[in-house]
Structure 1
């Protein structure tokens, strides 16, 4: 531990697994106080047990205004402010064009875009001067991938949101940036709606374009989040950091 985030207060949504869980763990390891938010709070009990004085677990859904307000109030009662906000909660589904109904697309946007935007809006009064907001986008805003139109479009909207809020909130002392993960080995990969054989075929295709030949790990994104949240990144504003193992270089 290097205490790069010592005594900073962070809120991470979608914190029960994958990238959100790893970001939460890294923040705690760097000395932060962390509020972890997820629909299944029991998955976070181990994290709270390891850092009881610096962890607050809140269950809820980012698509619920009431849940977000409850999260904000719980954070305010426990820690009094927010220095780092990571609206990480996300949904990924393979939806072919034929199945891209308004309802299917709306579900994806409701979590990925509206959930992220409303999380920031809810916490705006608690964000301190010098605070950092870190959105999670995707490398898929730069490349096409069959069946992921709704997901990629929702994350492209988040990328645009990040740049816009960087300009809007910057004068208030709030830095806004985003991280675009490439192929990362997380539970969400197995939940996109493909069977095991299809997943293997897609993974082989993706791996052939990666410099390392294999998917990245959640900690690759978490380390980037630690840097962006730290004072070392104080002059980085409105940027998207792509962490994709070289996929988008061709």
Structure 2
């Protein structure tokens, strides 16, 4: 077992499944202590099995200020300061432009943008010098998919925010970067609101543009996250690393 994150404390939201779960498992394997946060208490509890001394489980919703305050309080009580914040919690819904009213926009922005930003803001006083913030954006900020304008815009806002925050937090010795997943096989694909046959057709079309000939896996993003949050990436500031199987250059 490697220990690229030994001695570091990481906070991971949206950790109950998909990319967040893979990041949590990979960080544990790399020696980190982690606080995992999501709404699914049972799934979070599974992460802690066998690693109870290094895992703090906190249930809650990133759109609820009281839940985020509790996450900060419990994490700092258990581990003291923190070194890594990964506000991964996110949702994706297909919403045609004609249906993109204020409620539809707020629904995705509240989780994908505001929830991520407020997670980091709550922990800011507790991030140690040399720490790292890693936002999770998307390859869809570079290409267009009908029906995903709100989702893509929420992630584009997060990308822009992360670049500016990198400049603002640099004097504190805190690095800020983003990882942009491409087509990744996670449960989010089944929850975007497309019928099964349409979803399969989209997946086939997307796969045809992928250089490996298949969707990536959550572990591909987790491996990148380990690197970007480790000391090996100490000279990478304000960057977005796209992990998309070559989709955006194909």
TM-score (normalizing by structure 2): 0.99
Q: Partners in 1 of 2:117 and 2:42 — Cα distance?
A: 26
Q: How does 1:85-234 map to 2 (within 5 A)?
A: 85-234=85-234
Q: Partners in 2 of 1:51 and 1:209 — Cα distance?
A: 40
SS in 2 for 1:50: coil
For residue 78 of structure 2, what is the aligned residue in structure 1? 78
Instruction: Write the deviation string for residues 60-109 of structure 1: whole angstroms up to 9, x where unpaired.
Output: 00011110000000001100011000000001000011111110011100
For residue 65 of structure 1, what is the aligned residue in structure 2? 65
For residue 20 of structure 1, what is the aligned residue in structure 2? 20
Structure 1 unmatched runs, 5+: none
Instruction: Write the deviation string for residues 110-130 of structure 1: whole angstroms up to 9, x where unpaired.
Output: 000000110011000110000
For residue 32 of structure 1, what is the aligned residue in structure 2? 32
SS in 2 for 1:164: helix
TM-score (normalizing by structure 1): 0.99
Q: Partners in 2 of 1:185 and 1:179 — Cα distance?
A: 16
In the TM superposition, structure 1's runs of 4+ consecutive aligned residues that sit over 6 Å from their partners are none
For residue 46 of structure 2, what is the aligned residue in structure 1? 46
SS in 2 for 1:56: strand
Q: Partners in 2 of 1:248 and 1:62 — Cα distance?
A: 30
Instruction: Write the deviation string for residues 200-242 of structure 1: whole angstroms up to 9, x where unpaired.
Output: 0000010010001111000000000000110000000000000
RMSD, aligned α-carbons:
0.6
Q: Partners in 2 of 1:200 and 1:212 — Cα distance?
A: 18
For residue 247 of structure 1, what is the aligned residue in structure 2? 247
Structure 2 unmatched runs, 5+: none
- The Cα shift of 1:166 comes to 0.2
Q: Partners in 1 of 2:58 and 2:199 — Cα distance?
A: 33
- The Cα shift of 1:50 comes to 2.4
Q: Partners in 2 of 1:186 and 1:50 — Cα distance?
A: 25
Q: Partners in 2 of 1:37 and 1:72 — Cα distance?
A: 11
Aligned length: 250
- The Cα shift of 1:42 comes to 1.1
